[in-house]
Amino acid sequence: MPATSIPSILQSFTTLWSPRLVATVNDTDIKVAKLDGPFIFHAHPDSDELFYVLSGELTLEIEGADSVEMTAGDVYVVKRGVSHRPVARRAEVLMVERIGTVNTGDQPVSERTRVPEDVRGADT
Residue 124 belongs to a domain: no
Residue 83 belongs to a domain: yes
Q: What is the tens place of the pLDDT at every residue in 53-111? A: 999 999 999 999 999 999 999 999 999 999 999 999 999 999 999 998 888 778 877 77
Q: What is the CATH number of the domain that holds 17?
A: 2.60.120.10
Asked whether 38 and 67 are in contact (CB, 8 A), the reply is: no
- Predicted pLDDT at 122: 66
Residue 43 belongs to a domain: yes
Mean pLDDT, the chain, rounded, equals 92
Residue 101 belongs to a domain: yes
Residue 119 belongs to a domain: no
Residue 124 pLDDT class (50, 70, 90 cuts): very low
Residue 98 belongs to a domain: yes
Residue 115 belongs to a domain: no
Can you give the pTM of this predicted structure?
Answer: 0.91
Residue 23 belongs to a domain: yes
Domains contained in the chain, number: 1
Domain of 67, in residue numbers: 6-107
